[in-house]
A and B are shown apart, each in its own frame.
Chain A
Amino acid sequence: MKKLSVYTLTMAALGYLPNLSAQDISADRIYQPTQSDIGGAGLMQTPTGRMNRDGEFSVLYYDNDEYRRMALSLQLFPWLESTIRYTDVRTRLYSDSEGFSGDQTYKDRGLDVKFRLLEESRWLPETSLGLRDIAGTGQFASEYIAASKRFGPVDVTLGIGWGYLGRSGNIDNPLCDIADRFCDRANELSGQGGEFEIGDWFTGNAGLFGGIEYQTPWDPLIVKVEYDANDFSRESSRTPIIQDSHWNYGLHYRVNDNVNLKLSYERGNTWMFGFSFRTNFDDMTQYKRTDPIPAPTEPKLTSMDQLDTDELRSKLRKASGFYLKRFYLSDNGKKVTLVGNQSRYRYETMSLDRAAAVLANYLPAAVTQYQFVDDVLGMPIAQVNVDAPTFKRAFYRADFTTRYKDSYQLVNVNQDDDDQLLFERASELGLPDIGFRPFLEQSFGGPEAFYMYKLRMDGYFNWVPTENFLVNGVISGTIVDNYDKFNYLVEDGEAPLPRVRTYVREYSTQSDIVLTRAQGTYVKEWQDNLYSSFYGGYLERMFGGIGTEWLYRPLDKPWAVGVDINYARQRSFENHLGFRDYDVLTGHLTGYLRTDYFFDNTLLTVSAGRFLAKDWGVNVKFEKKFDSGIIVGAFAAKTNVSAEEFGEGSFNKGFFISIPFDLLQINHSTGRGAIGWTPLTRDGGQMLQRAAHLYGITDARSRFYNEW
């Protein structure tokens, strides 16, 4: 059987299996760069100069006797690849203290980035510069420049590496001729990890590496051969790793467009295997059940005197999801203003197209402007004016070139002097919107357990007792968790920082049912661009308090600025409603900048101020939105807490992926779900996790989280 498999693969590689039908591989996947053993486009141990298409996302697992590697790799931009990775060092314990980390093996976190320097052309190779295991413990840290050139089915790579990739020192470090400081690599390990050891980059031994990637005539199969310049005599595994050869050989098999299997024979003595899953965040789509835009008819009304607002509300709601709260007539019957909001479509124009079509079919022809005011919690956020004659040209297809969007104009909300109120939804103390949803809290790579989780069922309620006032809350019931393993220890029993986040175990084990949040929020718009909120209650699981947020956000501009200030008190983990003694005045001045000019569909948020542990500093968050609506973000907080005081990781940081619900279902939705990844839970650089931030509430001013 084994012989047959080897024979089959060999024949396939040589293209001698004409009857073997090709797998279901899309033509444009055939020459797509493949993942290396440790994540990111590459051969096996070494990287290539290749970049994937932007939005490409891979999850990789690779295994051998010493290491298990799990990596997430994302092509953020055409010129930037980023990889986060856990390496499970199977031959080492996490720590010498069994009481701290039990029998868990050592987990090393790593972050890689690769920048494209040159695109491939007829004469020049695609060339990239990469940094591996930056801001980690530095055990696998390396820097490299790799160049790849394709010759038909063969992709040839040659590179030079420093650090882990160049330990064999098979060439002299060329940078050593430029400056002596490049001759020796001072720091193999970097303390608590998390710091950028820039001084070590491109120093010490250097090694040439390279190899080929051969796309066999059988589309699913790729053969790899690699020369690895690493020297495995000083490994993080702390076990002797014998390297009989610098040559590695591998097979990469594409099961289908999304699944890849990998097998390699490396160091002349070791078999390794792995697999990866891929998708592309730009391409992800979901079939949608979408009601068509109503067909054109003769307007039902000839005069506004015939208006039946109940009928109009019902038609609008059904066709466009627009929930009408107030309806005005002005300018001698030429303008109608509809105050309300829609939460059906992630693309606002999908609702507008349908709502305007309803009005075109219903209102008298004399009405020449439809004004939609986006109202959130009683605050008018933005207004879209629809020029009815232009809209109707597109609606009736009265010419070749007019489009619906030609009739739309985003403006500040304006009230006409002669507004005549024709309808207002009766103010009533309605019932709260109540529901249940599962929620998974998780963290990876902690010393107590690699994966810590709590699967809970959240009962949530949102209640708007009056305009401008929102009460929302969450009651959580734990279904299953392992947070009881969380075992944050402090030397001499005294923590260097107030323990604002590291009481996770205590909160988790207090009770299976807890009040996670009960927050009341009052919002107010002061003028066109200025918004505020006042809130109080149990703001999150660990803190309660009161606070206020103010946001200045001009219409359709790429920037906004806000400030929030909060008095927060730590909640008790001994009873459900009480508080502990620790309190803090915390708040931030926050700037928001759409950086689309530099990077398409991106948002940079910088918050400077005082954090929960009374540390002062800056939190920077960067979000990139892909064509599918998926947002990938990263944040880092650097405060006046030293790396030693902070503990492992040196500073607070994390990543998250925000996924539009409508990618997961056939119905449209404006909702989103997020998956977070925070390497370690520590107390420095922590912000209050309250609900109802004004930047999200006012998204319609210049849409980022939903689409125009």
Chain B
Amino acid sequence: MRVFVGLLLVVLMSVSQTAAAQVKVNVYLHQSAEQPGDVTWQKSYELSQPERISQVYERILSDLNADDLAQINWSASRLSSDFLQARLERHRERMVEQLDQLARHWSRQDEQQVADSIKRLAAQVSRWPLQATYSFNLTPDQTRLILQQNPLLTRADGRVFNWHLYSFPHKALTFGLPEDLAGVDNDFLWRVLPNGTVAKQPVAYYNKRLPAACYQHDERSPIQSVNADQAQRCAIKGNLIHSVRLLSEYWLTDETEQLDLELMLLAKFILPNGGQS
């Protein structure tokens, strides 16, 4: 028995050591705006040693033809890992659960229309095409020139990294609830900016020229919760990735008072052009 346990340990350790040295990077190119989920070019790289992003980029450069490369919309690229994606999915589950609880709460309070809106939002959240990403706007030049923007791809962050590249114009869509439903916040619209910043923008007749409250994306903790105190004032100019209409604060309970902000932690990872949905 002891010999068996010893052998098992040796095997497990050797497997783990081999695995520790291996990272797989899948690169996907999406070229169709109509079917953003469709992959027009794909390549996997097995890295026996940890490599930096710029090195993987060099591999792509040699494998992808120059025309395709020139078309890539870098601000829409997404570099994720299986670990990060799993964390994002866990966060999604928590959010759906919280929305369900909130719907039950308002249902008990005889606010059935609001409860129905919340259920509808929960159903939508569970279908959002999400692709977690460490960095928005990951341009090759930055990774090549700035060490702090050129991390190593290692087992510390994931076994499989997925790098999605898009080569079509970005079309900003609005997600969330329609504005005529009960419980919907029509005074503010949430925005996702190209650098991953999430902004709560006033859009009602009385507040629409007031500055938005912005929450910056932190590429070193992409799915870390933030709170409303961390908001910075900002003006929304230029391109957007998405807009999202969520629930009015009035319908958020003490336990869910940050729910809209937490939902935006998901919404900012919705794929460009809404993925396949």
- A residues with a Cβ closer than 8 A to B are 26-28, 30-31, 53, 120-122, 149-152, 295-296, 393, 396-403, 600
| In the assembled complex, B2 has its CB within 8 A of some CB on chain A | no
Tell me which residues from 209 to 235 in chain B have a Cβ below 8 Å from any Cβ of chain A: 209-211, 219-221, 229, 233, 235
Q: Are B187 and A122 in contact (CB under 8 A)?
A: yes
Cα A152 to Cα B149 in complex, Å, equals 43
Additional 7 contacts, C-beta under 8 A, given A53-B233, A393-B156, A397-B149: A26-B235, A149-B206, A150-B205, A150-B207, A152-B205, A396-B147, A400-B157
| In the assembled complex, B150 has its CB within 8 A of some CB on chain A | yes
Nearest chain A CB to B39 CB, angstrom units:
24
Q: Are B209 and A30 in contact (CB under 8 A)?
A: yes
Q: Are A401 and B157 in contact (CB under 8 A)?
A: yes
Cα A496 to Cα B148 in complex, Å, equals 68
Name 26 A/B residue pairs within 8 A (Cβ), A-sorted: A28-B210, A30-B209, A31-B210, A120-B206, A120-B207, A122-B186, A122-B206, A149-B206, A150-B206, A151-B205, A151-B206, A296-B147, A393-B156, A396-B152, A397-B52, A397-B150, A397-B151, A397-B152, A399-B154, A399-B156, A400-B81, A400-B134, A400-B151, A400-B220, A401-B220, A600-B229
Cα A403 to Cα B221 in complex, Å, equals 9
Q: Are A397 and B210 in contact (CB under 8 A)?
A: no
CB neighbours (8 Å) of A393 from chain B are: 156
Nearest chain B CB to A685 CB, angstrom units:
36
Task: Give per-residue flags for B107-148: 1 if the beta carbon is below 8 A from chain A beta carbons, else 0.
Answer: 000000000000000000000000000100000000000011
Nearest chain B CB to A221 CB, angstrom units:
15
Residue of A nearest to B221 (CB): A401
Nearest chain A CB to B189 CB, angstrom units:
14
Residue of A nearest to B150 (CB): A397
Nearest chain A CB to B18 CB, angstrom units:
20
| In the assembled complex, B204 has its CB within 8 A of some CB on chain A | yes
CB neighbours (8 Å) of B219 from chain A are: 400
Contacts A31-B210, A150-B206 hold; do A121 and B152 have CB atoms under 8 A apart?
A: no
CB neighbours (8 Å) of A600 from chain B are: 229
- B residues with a Cβ closer than 8 A to A are 50, 52, 81, 134, 147-152, 154, 156-157, 186-187, 204-207, 209-211, 219-221, 229, 233, 235
CB neighbours (8 Å) of A151 from chain B are: 205-206
Q: Are B151 and A121 in contact (CB under 8 A)?
A: no
CB neighbours (8 Å) of A396 from chain B are: 147, 152
Q: Are B152 and A398 in contact (CB under 8 A)?
A: yes
Q: Are B220 and A403 in contact (CB under 8 A)?
A: yes
Task: Name the contact of B187 in the complex, choosing from A121, A296, A398, A403 (C-beta under 8 A).
Answer: A121
Cα A177 to Cα B50 in complex, Å, equals 79
Cα A28 to Cα B207 in complex, Å, equals 11
Question: Which 7 residue pairs are nearest across A and B when measured between Cβ atoms?
Answer: A28-B211, A150-B206, A399-B156, A397-B151, A400-B157, A400-B134, A31-B209
Cα A121 to Cα B211 in complex, Å, equals 15
Cα A543 to Cα B229 in complex, Å, equals 45
Q: Are A398 and B154 in contact (CB under 8 A)?
A: yes
CB neighbours (8 Å) of A150 from chain B are: 205-207
Q: Are B151 and A399 in contact (CB under 8 A)?
A: yes
Cα A28 to Cα B156 in complex, Å, equals 43
Cα A295 to Cα B229 in complex, Å, equals 34
CB neighbours (8 Å) of B233 from chain A are: 28, 53
CB neighbours (8 Å) of B187 from chain A are: 121-122
CB neighbours (8 Å) of B154 from chain A are: 398-399
